[in-house]
Amino acid sequence: MQSRLRYLFILTMTLSVVTLGLLAHSEGLGECDLRHRNRSSVPSTPSQERSSQRAHHSTAAPEFQVEDLNGRTISLASLEGKVVIIDFWATWCPPCRLEIPVLNDLQARYGKRGLEIIAISLDETVDEIRAFMKQTPLNYTVVHGDEAIMARFGGIVALPTTFFLDRRGSVRQQHVGLMSREAMERIVRQLLDER
């Protein structure tokens, strides 16, 4: 009886995770709107998806200086020579949460090749971020963002918003909304392979 209940529980949880992933990928949880800061998901349509990706071939990343949750100062200059993902996110944003395993995997797989992930949380307090990280470990750098850092990156209106920087500090891609593992990895590998 217990093994049957355990099987049903595992099956239910697996179906729930798959369903959530499919919803997120097919318009249900595309991005979280920051314009009204209402913590709700805004579906993205295919036309929004296309317009949310912009290729940049030589746009310099904005100068910035932030402290991570451990007090370490991070600046654009300190990241020189690395491929960088700057990911604006929040703990309350479902698509952001779905990207965490992908970002953890990318950092683990490509960190030694020069990938650095900086996650800029737009949660209201550092305590919210720390509490979340106790339940969901992140193996990359996390900082607490504010209006100033959002403005430096051109104004962030939805989460997640992800910037991909090459080794020279140029923004090569920007994406608003949930990204697939394949799309993220393709961009990272392309930028790491450039010299």
Query: Model confidence over 68-101: pLDDT tens digits?
Result: 999 999 999 999 999 999 999 999 999 999 999 9
pLDDT at 14 over 70: no
pLDDT(152) > 90: yes
Integer-rounded Cα Rg, in Å, for the chain is 17
Provide the pLDDT for residue 37: 55
- Cα 194 to Cα 164: distance, rounded to the nearest angstrom: 13
Residue 159: phi, psi to the nearest 5? -120, 150
Distances in Å between the Cα of 163 and the Cα atoms of 14, 102, 118, 145, 186 are: 31, 15, 10, 15, 14
| 42, pLDDT greater than 70 | no
Q: What percent of the chain has pLDDT over 70?
A: 73
What pTM was computed for the model? 0.77
- Alpha-carbon distances, residue 23 vs 17, 39, 73, 157 (angstroms): 10, 17, 37, 21
Could you tell me which residues come within 8 angstroms of residue 189 by beta carbon, excluding any fewer than 6 positions away? 110
The order of strands in the sheet holding 31-33 is: 41-42, 31-33, 158-159
Nearest Cα to Cα of residue 39 among 128, 132, 101, 122: 122
